[in-house]
Amino acid sequence: MGGASDGNFTAALGIPTLDGLGAMGDGAHAEHEWASASALPERTALVAALVSALLDGETA
């Protein structure tokens, strides 16, 4: 996916940075912006697994 975020600043400093965990869709901040409701369960499961792994002290 394309785009930019504030995470670019922390990543440039070598700080582990997570980005792109939001909804799937297109047209961010434009009139044609949309988000996929059918992808929300998958995205939610991804974030839940990530938080669980972080709380359990897992590393990549």
What secondary structure, in 3-state letters, does 5-28 show? CCHHHHHHCCCCCCCCCCCCEECC
> What is the distance between the alpha carbons of residues 11 and 7, in angstroms, rounded to a whole number?
6
> What is the distance between the alpha carbons of residues 54 and 58, in angstroms, rounded to a whole number?
6
Residue 1 lies in a domain: no
Residue 1 has pLDDT above 50, yes or no: no
The pTM assigned to this predicted structure is 0.66
Residue 42 lies in a domain: yes
Residue 60 lies in a domain: no
What is the number of structural domains in the chain?
1
Domain that holds residue 24: 7-55
- Mean pLDDT for all residues in the chain: 87
**pLDDT tens, residue by residue, 20-55:** 888 899 998 899 999 999 999 999 999 999 999 989
Beta bridge partners of 13: none
